[in-house]
Amino acid sequence: MTLQSGGQLSQTGRRVARGGTLILGGGFGGAHVARCLGKKGATIVSPESSMLYTPLLPEVAAGAIEPRHVAVPLRMMCPHADLLLGRAEALDENARIVTVETDAGELHVAYERLVIALGAVVSWLPIPGLDQHAVGFKNLGDALYLRNHVLCQLDTASVDPDNAERHLSFVFVGAGYAGVEALAEVRDLVEDALRYHPNLSDVQQRWVLVDRAAKILPEAPDGLGDYAARQLVRRGVELRLSTTLASVEEHAVTLSDGARMDAETVVWTARIKPNGVLAPLGLPVDKRGRVIVDSSLRVEGRTNVWALGDCAAVPNQATPDRTDPPTCQHALRQARHLAKNLRRAPKPYRYRSMGQGATLGRDKGIANLLGIVNFKGTAGSILTRWYYLSQIPIFSRRLRVLTDGTVSFVFGRDMAELCTLERSSPTVPVTVDRFAS
């Protein structure tokens, strides 16, 4: 089979990647490679038709931003790319063909250049009860589920006064950026929602943040991490540090220090691991399961296979002692560099981080610029939110998010809870999946 441009069907069940470049994964890394390739074209294989803008997931969980607005449609973002909705399942490097499972059956896609951008997944450690009773926080479904679940707890507490404290107890495990931001935002949602539950005003809430490390936000500069910890404590959050989760039951959790607490909500953000589909692809991986790439982002020992983002161990000339951390900021820079390397003699990747930031609820936050200047409080919040907003790829998306954020800042978070919806049916009403927004 010869490659044709435009991704035409060359024979039944067979395709060729547009422009010869096939990208597996339409997340942050993959979508930006396709966008940067512009008119050169590419074919993206992704189970979803949108790129999820994860930095705003905590705001979605808190009802401050509409879920659809953080999903950037790939067809809008990468107008010169073909999108194949499906999952990459197997790779034949000799034939240069990837097998993709779609709703319409199996497709075989031929490529000249292959880009692996399959991201990471939640790592459910073998802690008793964890996978049954805890919620992950990695995708839009998780954020919607969490929001509906939390709002449901307030309604249930109203009709179950004997267990009201348990319904208002929330345990977050993992004090990295995702866990801290999610806790702070969801706490604001509960605060806003409780105004409409006057019967719960005397119920003791419990917010617990658990981490095996001795401090929260270990990647943040010391002053900022300590400030974030003080802010959370001031807002009534119990920090259980140097502690791990021992077990989760339907209505309670037990920690490694023996403490047992009743809670209906356990959010697990403690660990991610590279996507499991990498193993059958047969590419070289490091001991953490990430694809090994050289300084130009080319997979070790390969000439036409490249990898980036959370699924790859990417060396960075600006930080020779460690590979890049799993962040959007790095995935974006890697994508820009990789797109250039696909069109020229490859050059080594080098990127110095612009800084980092986190929101700590409605009007507080932390930000660090270029590793030099620290901002906290309102300034930290504004800088971080401005940065998140500026990185959303499509202008109209940015405007939608800005409008959502402004409306919820002025009027409070949207507390419409949709987990009890039912769709009309001529026979029995069917409860809509709790993920429904």
Ligand X SMILES: Cc1cc2nc3c(=O)[nH]c(=O)nc-3n(C[C@H](O)[C@H](O)[C@H](O)COP(=O)(O)OP(=O)(O)OC[C@H]3O[C@@H](n4cnc5c(N)ncnc54)[C@H](O)[C@@H]3O)c2cc1C
Query: Which chain residues interact with ligand X by CB under 6 A?
Result: 24-30, 45-48, 54-55, 57, 87-88, 117-119, 137-138, 177-178, 275, 277, 309-311, 326-329, 331
Which CB, 27 or 67, lies closer to ligand X?
A: 27
Which CB, 147 or 167, lies closer to ligand X?
A: 147
Which CB, 67 or 168, lies closer to ligand X?
A: 67
The torsion angles phi and psi of 209, rounded to 5 degrees, stand at -120, 120
Return d(Cα 209, Cα 179) in angstroms, integer.
Answer: 8
Return d(Cα 338, Cα 166) in angstroms, integer.
Answer: 49
Return d(Cα 3, Cα 8) in angstroms, integer.
Answer: 9
For the CB of residue 33, give the shortest distance to ligand X in the complex, in Å: 9
Residue 85 burial (CB count, 10 A): 16
Structure tokens at 88: 């990459």
Residue, CB closest to ligand X: 27
Which CB, 34 or 127, lies closer to ligand X?
A: 34
For the CB of residue 27, give the shortest distance to ligand X in the complex, in Å: 2
For the CB of residue 90, give the shortest distance to ligand X in the complex, in Å: 10
**Does residue 21 contact residue 46 with C-beta atoms inside 8 Å?**
no
Residue-by-residue DSSP string for 77-101: H-TTEEEEESEEEEEETTTTEEEEE
Which CB, 217 or 419, lies closer to ligand X?
A: 217
Which CB, 131 or 249, lies closer to ligand X?
A: 131
For the CB of residue 25, give the shortest distance to ligand X in the complex, in Å: 3
For the CB of residue 423, give the shortest distance to ligand X in the complex, in Å: 26
Structure tokens at 156: 């249930």
For the CB of residue 219, give the shortest distance to ligand X in the complex, in Å: 11
Residue 62 burial (CB count, 10 A): 29
Residue 400 burial (CB count, 10 A): 17
| Mutual angle of helices 177-194 and 222-234, in 10-degree steps | 30
